Amino acid sequence: MAAFSARALPGIPEIGPGDDLAAILAAALAAEVVSPGSIVTIAHTAVSKAEGALVDLAAVEPSARARALASEQDKDPRLLQVVLDQSAELLRAQRGVLIARTRHGFVCANAGVDVSNAGAPGRAIVLPADPDASARALRAALEVPAPAVVVTDSFGRAWRHGQVDVAIGAAGLLPLDDWRGRTDAEGVELQATWLAVADAVAAAADLARAKDSREPVVVIEGLERFVTAEDGPGAGALLRALDEDLFR
Amino acid sequence: MAAFSARALPGIPEIGPGDDLAAILAAALAAEVVSPGSIVTIAHTAVSKAEGALVDLAAVEPSARARALASEQDKDPRLLQVVLDQSAELLRAQRGVLIARTRHGFVCANAGVDVSNAGAPGRAIVLPADPDASARALRAALEVPAPAVVVTDSFGRAWRHGQVDVAIGAAGLLPLDDWRGRTDAEGVELQATWLAVADAVAAAADLARAKDSREPVVVIEGLERFVTAEDGPGAGALLRALDEDLFR
């Protein structure tokens, strides 16, 4: 019988630029009974803040394109400039909703740029420059045997209301479990055959977090079968290639 | 500290047309220590089979449109006819991938039609006619206090590889937890403010299931805060309105 548990980790303070997130994480984990093969998820906001992935809007000079878009979408032109700076491609801009492909390849609202939870008014928080590298660095700094580390963000969905957390960075976790072409014990081809493990882990972790409690870190135990000794391909493996995108 | 656990329920036999799924589920749950306020998820294939949501392909007469699409996409024209019958709108048909909006409003590959796991060759399994009603009926048949019931399916995503389970039916569960406009204890506006609870629950449940083990039912405990006495709006509440669809 397969089973797992998820719990939010207490004792993580508000993170600021320059904070040693790995040390803070290691200290919080040291106070817990964490089994080998566990998965540690961390909300990207904590990673972004520690890495200084923050933009002071007062220092942003909006381009003509940002000003035109801002006027059209009724948004702050400086914020639009930050969104454009983070974007490889703007997919949709309608009714105040901007959907962009980020420089990393993530398709999400506002290219992952957020003005709430940035720690100070007039400041925007952006995604880490390389969330897979962030996950690998955090993993390397933790005790041996290192748990898997997943960096999460909340993404909206094209055809469904609400947000679910997805993996934007990962180390030591099988991001996808590929059963395509395999059959079960009775020779019947398996139906859900390409499980996005890292995204399901991120979604599960978010349920263990009380929304008003500022608990960026969740520990998941019981999913050792997806934890790997190598850091592996990371969450980048979850990104669909541009030429497979039917909805650009 | 928030925490939850998920475990696959043993003892569920292969389900066939006419089976009393509620009685089978009640018997399997009776053998377990299940706390009040728990959530029971069930893969839609079990629900579809019990409800007879199956199509014998040999009895299908493909239309001219189904034959043209099948030729273009290199598919079985009878299967294409079943997909069209299940669809309100075909959004994309490229390189053998068909993305449709089902009659229920779900946007997914092949309108949720699957020829694998249908229990017999030459048979297609389709989504339940009204998965929220299926969830409500299962819930009503379980012991009081009734757990929440979620009917799940595995959906691909437009811009990400792999599949995650989502809720296509629900009863007794808050499908969305809306914190928009609210602030945390320090007055900072919350970031992930509209959590798609039912979808995160479905994604989490799939992690508790070994892919080759045929375990359609997962029990989740510790998420009582999302379980409601009333059946509530169901998973239909997760569907984005057509006029909000930027990617049709």
Q: What is residue A98's three-state secondary structure?
A: strand
Residues B202 and B151 both lie in one domain: yes
Cα separation of A130 and A108, whole Å? 16
Residue B213 has pLDDT above 80, yes or no: no
Positive or negative, the CA dihedral A46, B183, A112, B94 is positive
Distances (CA, A) of A247 to A37, A168, B139, B240: 37, 20, 37, 16
Which residues on neighbouring strands pair with residue B164, listed in sequence order? B155
What is the share, in percent, of chain B residues with pLDDT greater than 70? Answer: 94
Look at residues A103, A158, A108 and name the one whose alpha carbon lies nearest to residue B245.
A158
Say how many Å lie between the first and final Cα of chain B, rounded.
41
Number of domains in chain B: 2
Yes or no: say if A7 and A224 are a contact pair by the CB < 8 Å rule.
no
Instruction: Quickly tell me which residue has 């079960």 as its tokens.
Output: A184
Selection from A82-91, B5-14, B21-30 with the highest mean pLDDT: A82-91
Instruction: Supply φ then ψ for residue A86, to 5 degrees.
Output: -85, -10
Residue B1 has pLDDT above 60, yes or no: no
Q: What is the mean pLDDT of residues B117-140?
A: 92
Buried b (16+ CB within 10 A) or exposed e, A166-178: bbbbbbbbbbbbe
Yes or no: say if A40 and A29 are a contact pair by the CB < 8 Å rule.
yes
| Domain contains A61 | yes
Preceding peptide of B145 cis, ω within 30°: yes
Look at residues A23, A87, A11 and name the one whose alpha carbon lies nearest to residue A50.
A23
Residues B42 and B113 both lie in one domain: no
Given pLDDT bands bounded at 50, 70 and 90, which one contains residue B8?
Answer: very high
Look at residues B3, B2, B5 and name the one whose alpha carbon lies nearest to residue B218.
B5
Given pLDDT bands bounded at 50, 70 and 90, which one contains residue A35?
Answer: confident
Residues A107 and A138 both lie in one domain: no
Q: Does A212 contact chain B (CB < 8 Å)?
A: yes
Cα separation of B195 and B172, whole Å? 17
Residue B99 has pLDDT above 70, yes or no: yes
How far does CA A55 lie from the centroid of its chain? Answer: 19
Residues A115 and A198 both lie in one domain: no
Tell if the CB–CB gap between B199 and A160 is shorter than 8 Å: yes
How far does CA B48 lie from the centroid of its chain? Answer: 10
Residue B3 CB-density burial (10 A; 0-12 exposed, 13-18 middle, 19+ buried): middle
Q: What is the mean pLDDT of residues A85-96?
A: 94
Q: What is the pLDDT of residue A121?
A: 80
Residues A142 and A217 both lie in one domain: yes
Residues A181 and A238 both lie in one domain: yes
Range(s) of the domain holding residue B107: 54-126
| Domain contains A11 | yes
| Domain contains B116 | yes
Yes or no: say if A135 and A201 are a contact pair by the CB < 8 Å rule.
no
Q: What is the pLDDT of residue A118?
A: 77
Q: What is the mean pLDDT of residues A61-69?
A: 97
Preceding peptide of A145 cis, ω within 30°: yes
Residues B120 and B186 both lie in one domain: no
Yes or no: say if A91 and A101 are a contact pair by the CB < 8 Å rule.
yes
Which residues on neighbouring strands pair with residue A55, listed in sequence order? A124
More confident residue, B42 or B189: B42
Instruction: Point out the residue among A1, A106, A176 whose CB comes nearest to the CB of B7.
Output: A1
Final residue of a domain: which of B67, B92, B126?
B126
Q: Does B154 contact chain A (CB < 8 Å)?
A: yes
* Structure ipTM: 0.95
Q: What is the pLDDT of residue B164?
A: 97
Instruction: Point out the residue among A162, A201, A223 whose CB comes nearest to the CB of B238.
Output: A162
What digits encode the pLDDT tens for the residues A208-217?
A: 987 666 799 9
Q: What is residue A132's three-state secondary structure?
A: helix
What digits encode the pLDDT tens for the residues A145-191?
A: 679 999 999 999 999 999 999 999 999 999 999 888 777 555 656 65
Cα separation of B17 and B54, whole Å? 8
| Domain contains A199 | yes
Q: What is the pLDDT of residue B187?
A: 63
Structure tokens at B237: 């509440």
Query: CB neighbours (10 Å) of residue A23?
Result: 10
Yes or no: say if B41 and B202 are a contact pair by the CB < 8 Å rule.
yes
Contacts of B162 in chain A (CB under 8 A): 175-177, 194-197, 199, 238
Cα separation of B8 and A200, whole Å? 16
Given pLDDT bands bounded at 50, 70 and 90, which one contains residue B207?
Answer: very high
Residues B39 and B149 both lie in one domain: yes
Interface of B with A in 72-111 (CB under 8 A): 92, 94, 97, 99, 101, 106-107
CB pairs under 8 A between A and B: 236
Given pLDDT bands bounded at 50, 70 and 90, which one contains residue B2?
Answer: confident
Final residue of a domain: which of A92, A109, A126?
A126
Yes or no: say if B245 and A159 are a contact pair by the CB < 8 Å rule.
yes
Cα separation of B244 and B157, whole Å? 18
Final residue of a domain: which of B105, B126, B147?
B126
Tell if the CB–CB gap between A201 and B210 is shorter than 8 Å: no
Q: What is residue A46's three-state secondary structure?
A: helix
Residue A71 makes CB contacts below 8 A (sequence gap 6+) with A77
Q: What average pLDDT does the structure give for chain B?
A: 91
Yes or no: say if A108 and A100 are a contact pair by the CB < 8 Å rule.
yes
Residue A8 has pLDDT above 60, yes or no: yes
Q: Which residue of B has its CA nearest to A95?
A: B244
Residues B88 and B171 both lie in one domain: no
Q: Does B4 contact chain A (CB < 8 Å)?
A: yes
Contacts of A190 in chain B (CB under 8 A): 116-117, 211-212
Q: What is the mean pLDDT of residues B51-62?
A: 97
| Domain contains A248 | no
**pTM for the predicted model, two decimal places:** 0.95
Residues A144 and A38 both lie in one domain: yes
Cα separation of B109 and A147, whole Å? 35
Buried b (16+ CB within 10 A) or exposed e, B23-52: ebbeebbeeeebeebbbbbbbbbbbbbbbe
Selection from A65-69, B11-15, B178-182 with the highest mean pLDDT: A65-69
Instruction: Supply φ then ψ for residue B233, to 5 degrees.
Output: -75, -15
Q: What average pLDDT does the structure give for chain A?
A: 91
| Domain contains A25 | yes
SS (H, E, C) B64-126: HHHHHHHHHHCCCHHHHHHHHHHEEEEEEEECCEEEEEECCCCEEEHHHCECCCCCCCCEEEC
CATH of the domain at B92: 3.90.1660.10
Contacts of A209 in chain B (CB under 8 A): 2
What digits encode the pLDDT tens for the residues B236-248?
A: 999 999 888 888 8
Given pLDDT bands bounded at 50, 70 and 90, which one contains residue B31?
Answer: confident
Q: What is the pLDDT of residue B120?
A: 79
Q: Does A221 contact chain B (CB < 8 Å)?
A: no
Q: What is the pLDDT of residue B214?
A: 76
Look at residues B61, B59, B50 and name the one whose alpha carbon lies nearest to residue B84.
B61
Q: What is the pLDDT of residue A62?
A: 98
Contacts of A188 in chain B (CB under 8 A): 116-117, 119
| Domain contains B18 | yes
Q: What is the pLDDT of residue A190?
A: 62
| Domain contains B58 | yes
Q: What is the pLDDT of residue B193?
A: 81
Residues B48 and B58 both lie in one domain: no
Q: What is the pLDDT of residue B234?
A: 98
**Helices B197-207 & A197-207 angle (0-180, nearest 10):** 120
What is the share, in percent, of chain A residues with pLDDT greater than 70? Answer: 94
Contacts of A212 in chain B (CB under 8 A): 179, 182, 184-185, 190
Contacts of A15 in chain B (CB under 8 A): none
CATH of the domain at A144: 3.30.1330.100
Residues A156 and A175 both lie in one domain: yes
Q: What is the mean pLDDT of residues A100-117?
A: 93
Q: What is the pLDDT of residue B191?
A: 57
